[in-house]
Amino acid sequence: MTDTAQPVSELYDIAVIGGGINGVGIAADAAGRGLSVFLCERDDLASHTSSASSKLIHGGLRYLEHYELRLVREALAEREVLLAKAPHIVKPLRFVLPHRPHLRPAWMIRAGLFLYDHLGRREQLPGSRGVRFGSDSPLKPDIRRGFEYSDCWVDDARLVVLNAMAAREHGAHIHTRTQCLSAKRAGAIWHVELQRENGTRFSLRAKALVNAAGPWVAQFMAENLQQRPPYGIRLIQGSHIIVPRLYDGDHAYIMQNEDRRIVFAIPYLGRYTLIGTTDREYRGDPAQVRISGEEIAYLLSVANTHFRTQLAPADIRHTFAGVRPLCDDESDNPSVVTRDYTLALTAESGLAPLLSVFGGKLTTYRKLAESAMVQLKPFFAQMGSHWTATTPLPGGEGMTTSEALADALTATIEGIDPALARRWANLYGARAWTMVGKTRSVADLGEPLGQGLYRLEVDYLRRAEWASQVDDILWRRTKLGLSFTPQETDRLRQYLLEPLKGAPRSCDAA
């Protein structure tokens, strides 16, 4: 090559645009089948929809009313799969459904719960039953009976990060804070132009392109690919409030409202109750979605209709909102727009394929990724078989219980606060040992940055989990944002400006 020759950009089998749950799920599945994979995310992993969910792995009891039996069956089966794959971040959760006869008759609820118990494979989770509420119930006295059933809780943002780690460990290149500017077909190859956060640009080539841009899936096709989207997207806003703990116990409530929607009240971080979600059409920039005053009033009203403890706006400790990108089925009611996913493959003869992801829900991301691989299989004869159903996510390897792991950490690291050991066990699972390394004393964890966060943990998150900014660490990796003081936040921000010692020289640390 002469000095004036242009370098040939790297060639991948698949380039994935989008670092939400569907993008990282597809990247992990493809990399584990032996394909070379590149993934870029404009912001941090799980920056938008995938960290703004109700934190549930669930079949979707209310979807039965809309006859979405395939979706519910698939989601119910996935509860057991994800419990086994990531027991540190996916936990069984019992739901209590107070009965309000004027909204749904008891026979209808019993029939729905019978289907819920039997539509999907259920091995670990107990079935449904009727319950009666006594004088010690946190519910209002006129609510005397109800029903109870099982689903699961999940740390949604960590589910995304763990799938990105799984993709990397199978050879995928993961670039965060990297925007795809454009992609153009040249025969059987995509030429992709990208820009890092610092403004530098680079290019790559790929044999297939996956558009998993979430709320921006249609916009990305129209503006960056210069193609007409095959489906419309309905942006449905879902908002949540976090309040001090409303009731004792580790069960959740599913509350029926007069508009026939349902709202959850879910135990959160031991000290709070998470209440949500709303459903309303959203037409703005998905990156700027915020809870509205109407939504706050709506969620408070539903909670106050059910619980003895009455809430006011001043009780709210935090709010968050996200936009669900649902495939437009022309429904007049945002609550009944299908949560199912649609995969659109554009693959004219001789041209590189484009696979776009429309819709979907957190619970079924793994099945969506398997479906994506089925669509792409004809273009990659060397693609391996499915593998994700039985392979643990990072941290799930060899796990028994989070309690046992926390006890082991407490016994190993002299002086560690048991609460910190429990937090590590629930966040990192078996990878807590990778983070700790040879550390055997709390004195070796480095500077305490606040609320049990030490330099050792921050350095691990920067090195192993793509964390580079305060929100990455406090809200998406650790959930410590609710307790950090402004002074502690400023100190963490200052520390993140310091060079990371021993940082790997690779795109995966970007």
In the numeric block, which tokens belong to residue 263? 């709202």
Element spanning 156, H or E = helix 156-169
pLDDT in tens, 162-199: 999 999 999 999 999 999 999 999 999 999 999 999 99
pLDDT in tens, 371-415: 999 999 999 999 999 999 999 999 999 998 999 999 999 999 999
Q: Which of 484, 481, 498, 471 shows the shortest CA–CA distance to 176?
A: 471
Q: Is the pLDDT of residue 503 over 70?
A: no
Q: Catalogue all structural domains in the chain, each as residue range(s) with its CATH number.
A: 11-49+158-232+339-379 (3.50.50.60), 88-154+234-327 (3.30.9.10), 402-497 (1.10.8.870)
Cα–Cα dist 76/277, whole Å = 20
* pTM confidence score: 0.95
Instruction: Name the burial class of residue 104, with classes exposed (0-12), middle (13-18) and buried (19+) by CB atoms within 10 angstroms of its CB.
Output: middle
Phi/psi of residue 220, nearest 5 degrees: -65, -40
Label the pairing between strands 37-40 and 233-244: unpaired
Provide the percentage of residues in the chain whose pLDDT is more than 70: 94
* Sign of the Cα pseudo-torsion (134, 138, 141, 143, in order): negative
Q: Is the pLDDT of residue 5 over 70?
A: no
Burial of 285-294, coded b for 16+ CB within 10 Å and e otherwise, reads: ebeebebbee
Q: Is the pLDDT of residue 222 over 60?
A: yes
- The helix-helix angle for 69-85 and 106-118 (nearest 10°) equals 50
In the numeric block, which tokens belong to residue 222? 């129209």
